[in-house]
Amino acid sequence: MTRLIKQLGDRLGFDTYRNIVRPYRSITESEEDEKDLVEQLFELGEHAVYVEHANWVNFTQYDSPRPIYINMVRHPIQKVISAYYYQRHPLIFAQSLMRNPNKPMQTKKFFDTNFNDCVRKRVSPHCVFDAHNPFNGDWRRFSLHLCGNSEICTHFNSETTTQIAKMNVEREYAVVGSWEDTNVTLAVLEAYIPRFFTDATKVYYSNTKNFTINNVSHDTHLDKDVEEYLKSSFAFEIELYMFIKQRLYKQYIAVHKNEF
């Protein structure tokens, strides 16, 4: 998405900014951190796009105009599988060591264990999904990002967190799309935010390989027992995902209602 937005900016006359990747960050931001972010963003000017893995921030709380919020999601189970193998890709792991030299090295078993075995045997905290595991607070789930920085947003697989996230999606996000529905997402972005996404579909398909550089091939097969465990562990995440997909398709139908 960052690369696509950058190319659209070159065509449409706006600047694209990417955050500096920090070696470590907490799963929520303090009020002071939120205020700093708000001030930094509005120093960028009107015709700018900023890209970051960030939790929702209430800009009006800081007497600031609201930005145009967008986000991207994918199926929660596929997301966690992808995260598992992404973190174990040699190049990605090496880059994380460069950013954080204090990060511990891993054994060969860490890289060789497949996702099904890791979940079934609980050999790593990255494969245990319950409310008491601090790793469940990381970027692998999107209810946290859509809920915000309050303590309740850190609760894993929480009905309350999910409902807050749904409310924010409806009220605060112009578009929440998914690469699993590329054509629908790009069409909605073009229609709802033309200042920044005019011709997004044409640009994306003119050189698709340029926008998929972070793909890491991995096995997506799930054993039945592992799949059932994950469906239970991510029940509210899946509910939120389906809510977002329904909203996206409603937006698409609204855009193309005269064609049906």
Q: Active site residue: 47, 53, 221, 256, which one?
A: 53
Q: Is the dihedral of CA 200, 253, 67, 73 positive or negative?
A: negative
Task: Tell me if residue 168 falls in helix, strand or coil.
Answer: helix
Angle at 117 (CA atoms; ends 229, 134), nearest 5 degrees = 60
At residue 185's C-alpha, the angle toward residues 179 and 188, to 5°, is 170
C-alpha 136/C-alpha 154 separation (Å) is: 9
The token pair that represents 194 in the structure block: 């033309």
Cα–Cα distance, 20 to 117 (Å, whole number): 35
Q: For 78, what's the count of Cα atoms within 13 Å in the CB-facing half-sphere?
A: 10
- Residue 231 to residue 255: CA distance in whole angstroms: 33
Q: For this structure, is 53 an active site residue?
A: yes
Q: Which two tokens stand for residue 156?
A: 């894993």
DSSP code string of 79-144: HHHHHHHHHTSHHHHHHHHHH-TTSPP--HHHHH--HHHHHHHT-SGGG--STT-GGGGSTT-SHH
**How many residues can be counted in the chain?**
260
Active site residues: 53
